[in-house]
Structure 1
Amino acid sequence: MSFSLPERVTLKGPNFIREVFERGVGVEGFISFGIGNPAPEAIPVEVIEKAFDEVVHSNPMSLLQYGPMQGDAKLAELTLERLVKTHKMNPEGQGLIISNGAGQLLGLVPITVLEPGDEVYMDEFTFTSAINSVRNMGGKAVGIKTDEHGMIPSELEKAAQSGKGKYIYLIPNFQNPTGITMPLERRKEIYAIASKYDLFIYEDDPYGEIRFAGEYIPTFKSFDTENRVLYAGSYSKTLSAGLRVGFLLGPANVIEAIQALKNNTAGQMPLVTQKVVANVLDTIDYDAHLENVRKVYKTKCEALLNAFNKFASSKVKLTQPTGGMFAWMTMPAEVNCDEFFEACMDRNVGIIKCGAFAADGAGEGHAFRLSYTVPTVEEITKGMEILGGLTKEFCGE
């Protein structure tokens, strides 16, 4: 039998991230700046091992039966407590979903709120899954031009005047792929436009607690006076990506609708991973753990920036992340980026072409994402020496 699939679920571009992984796997000496995994040394393995042991042995039957659809109550309580105390969010009138990582939410939100033809406004280069999840629902993932502070408000307003917009998708802290953080003044400008055109804001903040430089910037949700922000977070980047535990805070009626759809399409997520995360949050000094995570990422980011400044062409620009996992390298417009990418791969250095992150209407772009989390400091320095030398070959000194 031949299955006929609707066009909206078959629309996809080349998978540049998979290409780097597949071409680099098993290659001796290959240094990948392509994979956005957490740093292995930042994962608290012993703490998680202990939590698994305690959770499994304390009440094994509670893990082996169906659990509450809305997620583990203790985990929800601890998560909400942190959002209120640390991030100054107002819980009144809000609901909370525990999800299978923040990634599951990228699919659930558009399925719940979008009609075919609706527009979602996002940075012109942003997280691939956010783009595809909108396209899969027949929506348009409209790329909005950005500058060194993130999405440009005037460009957003131009797009919103179509009257077809439903929401704005943003990663305001240490954005993937650029590493840019949006300042508070810009956030308030974006919020004002959302209010003017009655858009809601999907604030995706998986990297927000990995700030290793600069001052904390309040979340959109913390000054959400009009109840128009959905705030998504994750324990994947701070504890373990493999546990797949995320959460979404938002207006209770919207959360109820998303939860109902989640119940009907995905059911409950595994209780064991939720209870492990709850155990960890309840038994360790989580803020002290985060400080250790930040130190790891700061050291690696500084190694990347120092090596870039030492080895790269002066004509190539690199963002200066103050947290998170990524930096964005922009080449001169005349450089053939496909040839540069192949030259890097031939020298066993993996980077990701900007096309992997291009929303609808994004320019061609002459940039690459560099992730500094997985390689060691020594590998970062060696890889950047190779990459830097190639930038001089292609761009000049």
Structure 2
Amino acid sequence: MSFSIPERSTLKGPNFIRAVFERGAGIPGFISFGIGNPAPEAIPVKAIQDAFDKLVHENPMLLLQYGPMQGDAHLAEQTLHRLVNTHHMNPDGQSLLISVGAGQLLGLVPRTVCEPGDEVYMDAYTFTSGINAVRNTGAIAKGIAMDEFGMIPEALDEAVKSGKGKYVYLIPNFQNPTGITMPLERRKAIYEVASKHDLFIYEDDPYGEIRFAGDYVPTFKSFDTENRVLYAGSYSKTLSAGLRVGFMFGPKEVVDVIQVLKNNCDGQMPLVTQRVVSTVLDNVSYDEQIEEVRRVYKMKWDAMYETFQQYASSKVHITVPTGGMFAWMTMPEDVDCDAFFEACMEHKVGIVPSGAFAADGIPNGRAFRLSYTVPTVETIKEGMKILGELTVQFCGK
């Protein structure tokens, strides 16, 4: 028997991130700035071990039966408390959904609201899974021009004139892949465009707590007066990526429908991981844990940036993130970026070409994403020295 697979199910861009990983695997001394994993030393291993031990030995049957479809009630309460009291979100008329990381939501949202041919507006360069999840519904992941402050409101306003728009997908804090944080004035301008055209905003904020410089910028959800923002967060970057615990907070009538689709397609969230996170939050200071993550990431970014400044060509531009996990390095127009990438790989340094993050209608570009979270400070300095010297070879001093 032969199966006919719909084209929308197979639509995806090239997986440059995986390609870099696979090419570097097994090469002695290979330094990867390509993998966007959390720093191992920032994971609170002892607190997580203690939580597992407590849960397994005190009442294992609580973990071994089915749990509520909507997620663990205590974890939901803890999460909602932080959203309301730390991030100043209004809970009236809202609902909270616990998910398998924030990543599961990338698929659930377009599957819930999009029809084939609908347009979802996103940064010209954005998270690969966010692009592919939209494409896999038959909708169009339409890239919108960016500047140093993120998505340009006028460009969004022009794109929306097609009349096919469904929502705007944004990573406003320490964006993946560029590291850009959208300032408050720009957020309000984007919100005005969404309001004008009656679009909702999907605010994806997995890195938002990891600010190590600059001032806090209010979330879209905190000034959402029209009930049009879905806010997604995660414990992956602050506690453990492997536990896969995320959440979505937004208008009840939308989140409840997403919950129904999740129940039908994915079933129950694992209770073990939810209750481990909840127990950790009960027994450690979450604010202190976040401060430790910030300390580690700032130390590593400082090492990357200082080495870049010392060795790199003055013709190469790099963003200066104020938090998160990524920086964006842009090459001059006359440089062969494919040749530069291959030279980096030959010198055992892995970086990810911007084409990995290009939404529909956007060229591959002349930039590379650098992640500073996994390598040690010493390895970062070693790799950035090599990278910087190669930029001089290709671009001149």
Q: Is 1:295 equivalent to 2:295 in the alignment?
A: yes
| CA distance in 2 between partners of 1:298 and 1:182 (Å) | 19
Which residue identity is paired with 1:203?
A: E
Task: Name the structure 1 match of 2:375.
Answer: 375
Query: Could you say what secondary structure the match of 1:242 adopts?
Result: coil
Q: Is 1:52 equivalent to 2:59 in the alignment?
A: no
Q: How does 1:1-397 map to 2 (within 5 A)?
A: 1-397=1-397
Contact 2:13–2:132 under 8 Å retained in 1 = no
| CA distance in 1 between partners of 2:377 and 2:167 (Å) | 40
Gaps of 5+ in 1: none
Contact 2:178–2:327 under 8 Å retained in 1 = yes
| Structure 1 position 333, deviation (Å) | 1.4
Contact 2:72–2:271 under 8 Å retained in 1 = yes
- Using the size of structure 1 for normalisation, the TM-score is 0.99
| Structure 1 position 104, deviation (Å) | 0.1
Which residue identity is paired with 1:279?
A: T
- Using the size of structure 2 for normalisation, the TM-score is 0.99
- 1:33-86 superposed Cα distances (whole Å, 9 cap, x missing partner): 000000010000001000111111121011111100000000000000000000
| CA distance in 1 between partners of 2:3 and 2:44 (Å) | 45
| CA distance in 2 between partners of 1:12 and 1:230 (Å) | 24
| CA distance in 2 between partners of 1:77 and 1:58 (Å) | 22
| Structure 1 position 363, deviation (Å) | 2.6
Count of equivalent residues? 397
| CA distance in 2 between partners of 1:204 and 1:11 (Å) | 22
| CA distance in 2 between partners of 1:254 and 1:36 (Å) | 30
Query: Could you say what secondary structure the match of 1:101 adopts?
Result: coil
CA-atom RMSD, angstroms?
A: 0.6
| Structure 1 position 164, deviation (Å) | 0.8
Which residue identity is paired with 2:350?
A: G
Which residue identity is paired with 1:80?
A: L
| CA distance in 1 between partners of 2:13 and 2:87 (Å) | 37
Gaps of 5+ in 2: none
| Structure 1 position 364, deviation (Å) | 3.2
Which residue identity is paired with 1:372?
A: Y
Query: Could you say what secondary structure the match of 1:240 adopts?
Result: coil
| Structure 1 position 13, deviation (Å) | 2.5
Contact 2:14–2:356 under 8 Å retained in 1 = yes
| CA distance in 2 between partners of 1:249 and 1:10 (Å) | 29
| CA distance in 2 between partners of 1:116 and 1:4 (Å) | 18
| Structure 1 position 12, deviation (Å) | 2.1
| CA distance in 1 between partners of 2:270 and 2:13 (Å) | 32
Which residue identity is paired with 1:39?
A: A
The runs of at least 4 aligned residues of structure 1 exceeding 4 Å deviation read none
| CA distance in 2 between partners of 1:334 and 1:48 (Å) | 50
Query: Could you say what secondary structure the match of 2:162 adopts?
Result: coil
| CA distance in 1 between partners of 2:370 and 2:112 (Å) | 33
| Structure 1 position 163, deviation (Å) | 1.1
- 1:320-366 superposed Cα distances (whole Å, 9 cap, x missing partner): 00000000000011111111111000000000000100001113310
| Structure 1 position 2, deviation (Å) | 2.6
Query: Could you say what secondary structure the match of 1:143 adopts?
Result: strand
| CA distance in 2 between partners of 1:367 and 1:131 (Å) | 18
| CA distance in 2 between partners of 1:351 and 1:311 (Å) | 17
Matched residues, percent identical? Answer: 74
Which residue identity is paired with 1:204?
A: D
Query: Could you say what secondary structure the match of 2:102 adopts?
Result: helix
